[in-house]
């Protein structure tokens, strides 16, 4: 698929090395090549190589990070693959609709991450909150169980299917904030809100989650981000 180097498949704390190999195989079959691992339990490992088949080059080029935040720091948009229902809902797409949007973003040369969680318990709430969007894979409600490699394969197929679709040019005049820059803006906003004593301590956690959701949904660009950071800095100076 076009500009596949701008798309990374991120696996968080994968327990079984064979699953890493199977994911690499699923990726290469659909033209994806950038695999990122966050604290894998066993890697490199012979089982990963065996399950990868002819996709050992994907494994050889895999990047390893100590945290999810570091793994996605340079990304403009982050998608979390999870079927978990949440108290505070996040913007959610099924795999096909998500693939359409991701294809457009990749065409615009934006760095995108799709994050997959642990085999036994998926992603934590804190990890899900680092994403801009949640992806679900529709399945039989009586048995909606997909293993890690199956999940990657389905989403990778939808992305491959989209690769033949023409995309209109982007309208934006400034690049969007990447995940690290956006997190700094969110932290700055929350810190300023505390300084202004805007939070009811009883509901502070829920309010912070909603602030995270708001900023990740709005996706400010660098000019907007610089303006907001400057505004917050001036507010902090005024209240000292």
Same domain flag for 184 and 147: no
Domain presence at residue 42: yes
Same domain flag for 109 and 66: yes
Same domain flag for 156 and 41: yes
| Listed residues 162, 196, 226: the one ending a domain | 162
CA distances from 160 to 8, 102, 157, 186, 229 (A): 14, 11, 5, 34, 38
CA distances from 94 to 83, 85, 106, 134 (A): 10, 14, 18, 8
Domain presence at residue 174: no
Domain presence at residue 113: yes
- What is the tens place of the pLDDT at every residue in 201-213? 788 888 999 999 9
pLDDT reported for residue 198 = 87
Indicate left, alpha or beta for 197 from its phi (over 0: left) and psi (-120 to 50: alpha). Answer: left
CB atoms within 10 A of CB 26: 24
Domain presence at residue 151: yes
CB atoms within 10 A of CB 169: 7
- CB 116, CB 151: distance < 8 Å: yes
- Output DSSP code: residue 221: B
Same domain flag for 205 and 86: no
Alpha carbon distance 30, 15 (integer Å)? 24
Domain presence at residue 168: no
Asked whether the predicted pLDDT for residue 166 surpasses 70, the reply is no
Asked whether the predicted pLDDT for residue 165 surpasses 70, the reply is no
pLDDT reported for residue 21 = 98
Same domain flag for 22 and 140: yes
Alpha carbon distance 94, 136 (integer Å)? 5
Nearest to 160 by CA among 20, 19, 33: 33
Nearest to 26 by CA among 2, 58, 4, 49: 58
| Listed residues 131, 162, 193: the one ending a domain | 162
Domain count, the chain: 2
**Parent domain of 187:** 179-239
| Listed residues 113, 136, 162: the one ending a domain | 162
pTM of the predicted structure, to 2 decimals: 0.82
Same domain flag for 189 and 153: no
Asked whether the predicted pLDDT for residue 16 surpasses 60, the reply is yes
Domain presence at residue 68: yes
Same domain flag for 156 and 209: no
Domain presence at residue 172: no
3-state secondary structure 29-93: HCCCCEEEEECCCCCCCHHHHHHHCCCHHHHHCCEEECCHHHHCCCCCEEEEECCCCCCCCCCEE
Asked whether the predicted pLDDT for residue 193 surpasses 80, the reply is yes
Mean pLDDT score of the chain: 92
Question: What share of the chain has pLDDT > 70, as a percent?
Answer: 95
Same domain flag for 148 and 203: no
- What is the tens place of the pLDDT at every residue in 65-118? 999 999 999 999 999 999 888 788 899 999 999 999 999 999 888 999 999 999
Alpha carbon distance 28, 153 (integer Å)? 10
The distance of Cα 169 from the centroid of its chain, to the nearest Å, equals: 23
Same domain flag for 109 and 227: no
Question: What's the start-to-end Cα distance of the chain, in Å?
Answer: 52
Question: What share of the chain has pLDDT > 90, as a percent?
Answer: 78
- What is the tens place of the pLDDT at every residue in 167-191? 555 667 888 999 999 999 999 999 9
Backbone angles phi, psi at 138, to 5 degrees: -55, 135
Give the 3-state secondary structure percentages of the chain, helix then strand then coil, rounded to 5: 50, 15, 35
Domain presence at residue 135: yes
Same domain flag for 39 and 86: yes
Same domain flag for 46 and 21: yes
Same domain flag for 78 and 121: yes
């Amino acid at each position: 698929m076009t500009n596949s180097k701008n798309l990374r498949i991120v696996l968080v704390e994968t327990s079984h090395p064979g699953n890493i190999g199977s994911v690499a195989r699923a990726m290469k079959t659909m033209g994806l090549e950038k695999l990122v691992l966050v604290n894998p339990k066993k890697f490199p490992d012979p089982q990963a190589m065996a399950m990868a088949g002819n996709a050992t080059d994907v494994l050889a080029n895999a990047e390893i990070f100590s945290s999810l935040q570091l793994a996605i720091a340079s990304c403009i948009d982050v998608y979390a693959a999870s079927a978990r229902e949440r108290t505070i809902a996040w913007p959610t797409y099924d795999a096909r609709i998500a693939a359409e949007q991701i294809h457009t973003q990749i065409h615009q040369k934006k760095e995108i991450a799709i994050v997959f969680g642990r085999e036994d318990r998926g992603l934590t709430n804190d990890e899900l909150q680092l994403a801009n969007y949640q992806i679900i894979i529709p399945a039989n409600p009586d048995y909606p169980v997909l293993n890690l490699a199956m999940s990657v394969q389905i989403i990778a197929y939808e992305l491959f299917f989209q690769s033949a679709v023409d995309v209109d040019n982007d309208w934006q005049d400034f690049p969007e904030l990447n995940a690290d820059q956006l997190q700094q803006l969110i932290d700055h906003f929350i810190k300023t809100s505390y300084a202004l004593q805007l939070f009811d301590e009883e509901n502070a956690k829920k309010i912070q989650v909603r602030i995270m959701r708001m900023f990740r949904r709005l996706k400010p660009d660098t000019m907007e981000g610089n303006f907001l950071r400057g505004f917050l800095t001036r507010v902090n100076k005024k209240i000292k």
